Amino acid sequence: MDCLHIITPVSRPQNLTALALSLRGLLSIPWRWWVIFDRKVADLPARPPDLPLGYWDYGRESDSVAGYSLRNECLEKINSGWIYFLDDDNLIHPHLEIVFLLARRSFPAAQWFIFRQIRPDGTIYLRPQVPPRVNAVDIGQCVLRRDLMKNTGDPVPPWSFEHRPDADGLLYEQLSRDIDPIAIDLEATYYNALK
C-alpha cells in the first residue's frame, strides 16, 4: 500500500504530544508525519524518536497564513502516495484508518476521498459533499493522491491564494474541476479536536 503522508504546519507546539499520540493509532497502513514549524515558534521541540517522520524543522516562510505556504513546502518534498492535512489543533480520528482502508477496497481506482467530519463532542460538523464547495468542505476532511495537486514549482501551486481564509475550500473546488472525489459518509475525521 502507498504511504499516507500526514502534513502538519505548526504554530502551537504544545499540541504535538496529543497529535503524536493519536498518530500512534495508525497500525495497518504505512505513514509518515511531515511537521513543519512556523518561524514564530521560539524553540524547535525535540523530534519524537519512535515515529516515522518525513520532516521536522522550520519552514522557509515567516508570514504563513493558516499554514498554507508551509503545506506547499512539504508538498515539494513528497512525490507520490496519499496526502492528509492534519492541523496542529486537531487529532487523527480513531476510525480514519479503518474507514480509509474500507474506502480503498471499495473504490480501488479512486484518487480522492471526502469523509464525514465530527466535532470533539461527537456531533456532525460536515458531511462529505460532491462536488466540494467553499464553506462546505474542510482541509482535514479529505485524503487524496499526491499527484492530483500541482507542485509549487508549477504556475499555480496548491495554495497560491493562501491569504484567503477559505483557501482550503477554493483548493478543493479547483481540484474537483478535474476529478470528482468519492464521498464516504462515515465518521472518520475530526474538526478542531483540540480547541
Question: Alpha-carbon distance 49 to 53, whole Å?
Answer: 9
Determine, yes or no, domain membership for 157: yes
For residue 13, give its domain range. Answer: 4-190
Q: Which residue has the cell 515515529?
A: 51
Question: Alpha-carbon distance 127 to 144, whole Å?
Answer: 17
pLDDT (0 to 100) of residue 161: 56
Per-residue pLDDT of 94-125, as tens digits, reads 999 999 999 999 999 999 999 999 999 999 99
How do beta strands 142-145 and 112-118 pair? antiparallel
- Return the CATH number at 15: 3.90.550.10
Single pTM value for the model:
0.92
Determine, yes or no, domain membership for 70: yes
**CB-facing half-sphere around the CA of 187: CA atoms within 13 A:** 12
- Tell me which of 5-9, 18-22, 77-81, 152-156 is least confident: 152-156
Determine, yes or no, domain membership for 30: yes
Helices and strands in the chain: count of H runs, count of E runs = 4, 8
Q: Which amino acid is it at 157?
A: P
Domain tally, the chain = 1
| Cβ 3 vs Cβ 30: under 8 Å | yes
Determine, yes or no, domain membership for 165: yes
Determine, yes or no, domain membership for 195: no
DSSP label at residue 43: S
DSSP label at residue 146: G
**CB-facing half-sphere around the CA of 54: CA atoms within 13 A:** 25
User: 187 phi and psi, to 5 degrees?
Assistant: -65, 115
| Cβ 163 vs Cβ 63: under 8 Å | no
Determine, yes or no, domain membership for 18: yes
pLDDT band at 163 (very low <50, low <70, confident <90, very high): low
